[in-house]
Structure 1
Amino acid sequence: MITREATLKDLDTLLEFEQGIITAERPFDSTLKEGKIHYYDLRSFILSPDAAVIVVEDQDQVIGSGYALIKKAEKDYNQFKEYAYLGFMYVLPEYRGKDVNKMITDALISWAKSKNISEIRLDVYAQNEPALKAYEKAGFEPLLVTMRLKP
């Protein structure tokens, strides 16, 4: 297995992965609309100098993905002016549990460090215990829980 930056030739596969992510997240988020939806502008991420879309390949098949996007700090009181936001983490079901997500996360962290970014963040559903464990294993720690109420 190898990691590499995605190219526009990967876009069709990456769009399929996006729908896989949405399908996996629907049980955790009742606010998602039905039908096909899109979270990401993958084309612009692939082309942007402020983003990296990483894929893992096994025998010339893309089996996993993730991105890092440099964002400006939302608050002027943060110790950092910008941070890398990780997202689009997806691994084909038959490759889960084989450290593919770790390969992607490690590559994205390395990319962020190469851009002199010292803060890296991601969002994960609180009920998604396998993802929480994977990110904690990679060194992430919980920071904030978003609560909601639908009156």
Structure 2
Amino acid sequence: MITREATEQDLEILLEFEQGVVSAERPFNSTLIEGKINYYDLNNLMQSPDALLLVAEDQNEIIGSGYALIKKSEKDYNRFKEYAYLGFMYVSPEHRGKGVNKVITDELVNWAKSRNISEVRLDVYSENESAIKAYEKAGFEPLLLTMRLKA
């Protein structure tokens, strides 16, 4: 398995992966609309100097994806001015459990460190226990739980 930067030639499979992310998240989020949802501006992620969009390949087949995006801290009181936000973490179902997500995550974190970014964040649904365990195994820890009330 190798990782590499995504290119425009990868868009078709990446758009399929995006719908895979949406499908995986639907059971955890009743507020999502029906039908196709586009979470990501993939072209912008590929072109931005403040982002790295990776794909993982196995035998010339794209099997996973993820991005890191450098963002400004929203709060003046944080100890960091910028952080790397990870997203679009997806692995094809037949390749799950093989460490693909860890390889992608490690590569994205290393990229952030190379840019002098010391804070890395991501979002995960509180009920998505398998994802939480995977991210904890990679060194992440819970920080904040967003609560909601349908009024």
Query: In the alignment, what sits opposite 2:93?
Result: 93
Alpha-carbon deviation of 1:8? 1.1
Query: In the alignment, what sits opposite 2:52?
Result: 52
SS at match of 2:52: strand
Q: CA RMSD in A?
A: 0.5
Q: How does 1:66-81 map to 2 (within 5 A)?
A: 66-81=66-81
Alpha-carbon deviation of 1:49? 0.5
Alpha-carbon deviation of 1:52? 0.3
Percent identity between matched residues is 74
Q: How does 1:1-150 map to 2 (within 5 A)?
A: 1-150=1-150
Is there any run of 5+ residues in structure 1 with no aligned partner, and where? none
**Residues 103-140 of structure 1, C-alpha deviations (whole Å, 9 max, x = no match):** 10001001101111000000000000000000000000
Q: Which letter maps to 1:9?
A: Q
SS at match of 2:89: strand
Distance 1:102 1:82 in 2: 23
Q: What is the TM-score of this pair, normalised by structure 1?
A: 0.99
Q: Which letter maps to 1:72?
A: K
Distance 2:148 2:129 in 1: 19
Q: What is the TM-score of this pair, normalised by structure 2?
A: 0.99
Q: Across the two proteins, how many residue pairs are aligned to each other?
A: 151
